[in-house]
Chain A
Amino acid sequence: MAYELNVNGVTMNADVDPDTPLLWVLRDTLGLVGTKFGCGIAQCGACTVHADGAPIRACMTPIEAIGDAKITTIEGASALEVGARVQKAWSELDVAQCGYCQPGQIMSATALLSQNPAPTDDDIDAAMAGNICRCATYVRIRAAIKRAAGQEA
C-alpha cells in the first residue's frame, strides 16, 4: 500500500503493509535510523518521534494511523527551536553513555519543553517516565532539561 508521509518537513513515499509500524518505515524504508528499536511494546521510548508536535511511540504506531500528521524525528530535531536547544544542552553536559536511548530522550524532552517551558522536577518525571536509559544517565538527563529550560541549578 502506498503512503505519502511528511517527515521532517519533507514529503516521502513508502509502499508498505498498513500494519507496518512507523518505526520500521522510518528505519528500513526511509533510511532514517536515528529513531531506535528497543522493545516493540511502547515500554522503553527509544522510538519516540513527534506527530504534530506530540510525542508518540513509533514502534506501536501503524503507518495507516499516521494520516496527515507531520512527523518529526531526531534527524529533524535541530530544525525546531526547542529541539536545537535540547540537543545543545545534551552536548554540553555530555549526557550520553552508549547513546542508544538518547534520540528518544531528546524527542520526549523537546515535546515537554515545547508544551511547558519551565517544568518542575515532577513535570520532568512525568514527561520522561516512558523513556528508559539502560546506562542510567538520568542525573544528566534531568540536568540537561533544566539547562535547556534556562533554569540552571
Chain B
Amino acid sequence: MGMITNITQGFSPSRRAVLAGGGAGGLVLAFSFAGKGAAADGPAKLNAYVQIAPDGIITIVSKNPEIGQGIKTSLPMLIAEELDVDWANVRTVQAGNDPQAYGRQFAGGSMATPLHWDQLRQVGAAGRAMLMAAAAADWSVDVASLTTEPGVVVHAASRRRATYGALAAKAATQTAPELSSLKLKDAANYRIIGQPIPQVDTAAIVTGQPLFGIDMRLPGMLYAAYEKAPVFAAKVAGADLAAAQAVKGVRKAFVVEGGTELDGLLPGVAVVADSWWAANKGRQALKVQWADHPTSSQSTPGYAGQARSLVAAKGGKSLRSDGDVEAALSGSAKTVEADYFYPFLSHATLEPQNCTAHFHDGKMEIWAPTQLPEPGRQLVAKTLGIAPENVIVHMTRSGGGFGRRLMNDYMVEAAWIAREAGAPVKLVWTREDDMRHDFYRPAGFHHFRGGVDSAGNITAWANHFVTFGEGEATARSAGMAATEFPAQFLPNYKLDVSMMPLGVPTGPLRAPGSNAIAFVVQSFIDELAHAGGVDPVEMRLRLLAQSSGGAFDAERMAGVVRLAAEKARWGKTTLGPRQGQGIAFHYSHLGYFAEVAQVAVAQDGTVKVEKVWVAADVGRQIINPLGALNQIEGSVIDGISEMFGEITIKDGQVEQANFDTFPLLRIADAPVIETHFIKSDNPPTGLGEPALPPVVPAVTNAIFAATGKRVRSLPLKASELAAG
C-alpha cells in the first residue's frame, strides 16, 4: 500500500514553468516576459518572482535552497514589503534550479542577505509600480497621484480603490519599470521587514508533512544503498553480489566503477530493492574486496608527527611578513611560544545525504537536498554523459546543510544508480556512510610565537600554519588568508604555511576557516594579554585601535567588543571557584561578532558553559528578528558542540561512524544565550555563520580564567582540566 507523497508540489517543472517563465538572464529580474499569457480569471504573473491571484493571494518564489537558515521566509519578505501586501496573504514556493531566471541559486557564505537586500526589494517595488500603472490606466489618472495600502491601489483624490487581485491581470501586461526609477520605502514605513515572522514551513514541520529530500516518493520508486570503500576512492577489486541478490526484495546489485575525484562519483557497489531496509540488508550481505590505495597509511598521529617536523624545520612558505618579527621578539619584555591544534570535524546534518533520481524520456530528473544545485546538475551531466539541458534538478528542503550539501556526490550517485536500475530510485545513506564519507572541516596546526613589551602591548606575532595540500594547491577549505586578523594591526607580523598531503576529502563547514582560525588567534591574543598583565578586553581594544587597513572596520568591531563586555558585566561579576568568563571576537561573512562566555569547570574537568553574551553588528536592519535570534543561538551552541567532538583517521579511514563516537551537544548542555545588536549604518548582512567562530575561543579563554589551564588543543578533554 502506501500513498504517493507529493513533495514536488511547488517545485515540479510544470509549476516552475508557470512561476518562472523564461527570458532575461541574471539575478536582475526577468521582467521582460511579464504578463505573457496571463489569463483574465487566473493568477497573473508580474515577474519571475511574483504572481497574484484574483482573490488577492500573492505567490512569491523563494529562489535559494532552504537548509534551515530561514531563507524561504526572509527573501520573500523583502519582495512582499516593497510590493506592499499583507504577509498573511503571501504564499511562498521554492524555485526550481533555474539560473536563467534567478541567477546563482545557492546556500553558502551567508551571502543571501547581502546579495538580495537591494535586488529583491526592487522586485517587489517593480511589481507595485506595475499594479499602480494598471490602475492609472483604468482610471485615466497620473500614476504619481496614486498610493498603495497593503494589497490595494488608492487614488485619494477620487476615493477610488482597486485591489491587487483585481488589477493583477492588467498589471501583468504593463511594461516592467526601469529599476533605477524605483523608489524604495523608508525603513520607518516597513510593515514586514523587521517583524518577527515564523518560517513559512513551520506548520508543515510541526505536523510532519513531507518536505525533505528523504521524504520524496515517486510511483514505482525503488530504494538504493551504496557501499563505498572505507579508504577514500579505493577501487572495487572484486565483489560477490550473489548473497546480496538473494535477499528478499533486492532487485539488483552492481558494481559502479566510478572515478578518482573525491567530490565526484566514487567507486562502489549499489544495491537496489523494493524497500530501503531490503536494500540495506542486501548491502550488508555483500562481500567486497577493495583495491589497495596509496592513502591507506595515513593517520591522525601521522599528520601530527609530520606537523611537528615541519614546525621544527621552520621551512614554511611566507604568506606575509610585515616589519621585523625576529628583532621585535628578541627585544620583547616577554615572549610566548605555543602549539595549537584543532581536529577534523564532520558536518553531521541530521538528514543523512540522500537523493531521488529518475531517468526517463532521455532526461535525468533529480530531487535533491542540495545547497548548490547547478554545479550538481553539471556534475551529473558530465559524469553520465548527458547534455546539461537534459538534467533537471529540483531543490527540496534540506535537513541541515552546514556546508555539507555544497558537494553533490550523493546526487551523482543517485543519478548513476537510477539510470542503471531503469526505475526511479531513492538513494539514502546510513549515518555511518554520512560520517565516513563527509568533506571534513580540515584539521590544522599552528605554531605561534609572540611578544609583549613592558607596557603589555603586543610587539610581534608569528604564526607557522601547518595544513594540508600538495604543491601549490591547498586542500579545500584548508587555507588561511594573508589578510586574516591580526595582520595589519601589528607592525611586526608574519604568517608562514607548510602543507602535507591528505587523502581525506575536506570542505567548508559553517563559517569555514573562521571556525578554526578564530580559536587559535583569539586564544593566542589571550595568552599575550596574560603575559603582558593586560585585561583581555583591554588588549583587544588596544589591538583594534592599531588598525592600518585590515580586513574589516576596526571601529565596528570595537563597538561589539565593548557591548559584549558591558552586557556580561566583564570584570564586575562575582564568580565562584573554577568559574570564569572569556571574551573573543571575529569578523566573518561581513558580520562583526564579540562574545563573552561564562563557564564552570567541575573538579573532574567537565566543562559547563553557563551563559554566552553575544554582541553583533550586521548592519542597520534585522530582516526577521525571530529567524535572526534562532540563527545566532544555533550558531553559538553549534560552536560549543564542535569543541567536544573529533574525526580521527586510522589506516586512511575515518574511525568514527555515528553519534555514539562523534557526539553532538544535547539540551542539558545548552547555555543561556543573550543577544544584543548594534544597528550600525551599514547594509544588512547574513547570519547563518558569523556568530559561530568567536564562541570557541570565548569558551577556552573562560576555561583559562576558571582554571588557569590554557586549552591549546581541541576537542576539550576533561582529564586535562581536572583540579589538581
Contacts and interface: CB of A to CB of B under 8 A. Distances in A.
Interface of A: 12-14, 16-17, 20-21, 24, 27-41, 43-44, 46, 73-75, 77-78, 87, 90-92, 94, 96-103, 106, 124-125, 128-129, 131-142
B692 to A, nearest CB: 10
A98 B397 contact: yes
Contacts of A33: 5, 208, 210, 214-215, 217
Contact of B208 (A34, A38, A129, A134): A34
Given A31-B217, A41-B431, A138-B637, A73 B664 contact: no
A24 B276 contact: yes
B201 interface: yes
Give the residue among A33, A74, A77 with the most B Cβ atoms within 10 A: A33
A31 B2 contact: yes
B276 A28 contact: yes
Contacts of A21: 277
Question: For A30, A39, A73, which residue has the most chain B Cβ atoms within 10 angstroms?
Answer: A39
B351 A100 contact: yes
B641 A136 contact: yes
Contacts of A75: 207-208
B157 interface: no
A142 to B, nearest CB: 7
A20 to B, nearest CB: 5
Contact of B202 (A13, A73, A74, A96): A96
Contacts of A94: 196, 198-199, 202, 626-627, 630
Interface stretch (B8-16, B67-75, B577-585): B67-75
B696 to A, nearest CB: 14
Nearest to B641: A136
A98 B633 contact: no
Contact of A134 (B432, B658, B664): B664
A96 B350 contact: no
A11 to B, nearest CB: 12
A38 B352 contact: yes
Contacts of A103: 205-206, 208
Interface of B: 1-5, 67-70, 196, 198-199, 201-203, 205-212, 214-215, 217, 223, 248, 275-278, 348-352, 397-402, 428, 430-432, 626-627, 630-631, 633-638, 641, 658-660, 664-668, 670, 672-673
A3 B211 CA distance: 28
Which 4 residue pairs are nearest across A and B when measured between Cβ atoms? A34-B208, A98-B68, A100-B399, A74-B208
A17 B202 CA distance: 35
19 contacts: A20-B275, A37-B428, A40-B658, A73-B208, A97-B69, A97-B70, A98-B401, A99-B202, A99-B211, A100-B68, A100-B212, A101-B399, A128-B666, A129-B668, A132-B666, A134-B349, A138-B637, A139-B673, A142-B667
B197 to A, nearest CB: 8
Nearest to A142: B667
Contact of A39 (B278, B630, B659): B659
Contacts of A39: 431, 658-659
Given A36-B351, A134-B348, 16 more contacts: A16-B275, A17-B277, A20-B275, A34-B208, A37-B428, A39-B659, A44-B350, A73-B208, A77-B207, A98-B67, A99-B211, A100-B349, A132-B666, A136-B638, A138-B665, A140-B630
Nearest to A38: B350
Contacts of A139: 633, 637, 670, 672-673
B666 to A, nearest CB: 6
Q: Specify which of B352, B658, B660, B668 lies most central, judged by the most chain A CB atoms within 10 Å of its CB.
A: B668
A137 B276 contact: no
B400 A98 contact: yes
B214 A124 contact: no
A139 B201 CA distance: 20
Contacts of B196: 94
A37 to B, nearest CB: 7
B206 A106 contact: yes
Given A74-B207, A94-B626, A98-B399, A31 B673 contact: no
Contacts of A101: 350, 399
Contacts of A37: 214, 352, 428
A135 B634 contact: yes
A73 B670 CA distance: 27
Contacts of B399: 36, 98-101
Contacts of A136: 633-638, 641, 665, 670
A81 B301 CA distance: 55
A21 B276 CA distance: 11
B350 A46 contact: yes
Contact of A137 (B5, B202, B634): B634
A140 B432 CA distance: 29
A9 B400 CA distance: 32
A20 B277 contact: yes
B350 A102 contact: no
A150 B418 CA distance: 50
Contacts of A131: 666-667
Nearest to A94: B198
A134 B348 CA distance: 8
A37 B353 CA distance: 11
A29 B277 CA distance: 10
A29 B221 CA distance: 12
A99 B664 contact: no
A39 B217 CA distance: 21
Contacts of B207: 34, 74-75, 77-78, 87
Contacts of B277: 16-17, 20-21, 24, 28
A27 to B, nearest CB: 8
A35 B626 CA distance: 26
Contact of A40 (B201, B212, B397, B430): B430
Nearest to B205: A99
Nearest to B348: A134
A102 to B, nearest CB: 5
A90 B430 CA distance: 29
A131 B673 CA distance: 20
Nearest to A75: B208
Contacts of A41: 431, 658-660
Nearest to B349: A134
Nearest to B670: A138
Contacts of A38: 350-352, 431
A139 B630 CA distance: 9
Contact of A132 (B68, B636, B664): B664
Contacts of A140: 630, 633
A90 B1 contact: no
A134 B276 contact: no
A46 B637 CA distance: 19
B630 A31 contact: no
Contacts of A29: 1-2, 275
B350 A100 contact: yes
Contacts of A43: 658-660
Max chain B Cβ within 10 angstroms of own Cβ: one of A17, A24, A77, A138: A138
B515 to A, nearest CB: 14
A45 to B, nearest CB: 10
Contacts of B630: 94, 97, 137, 140
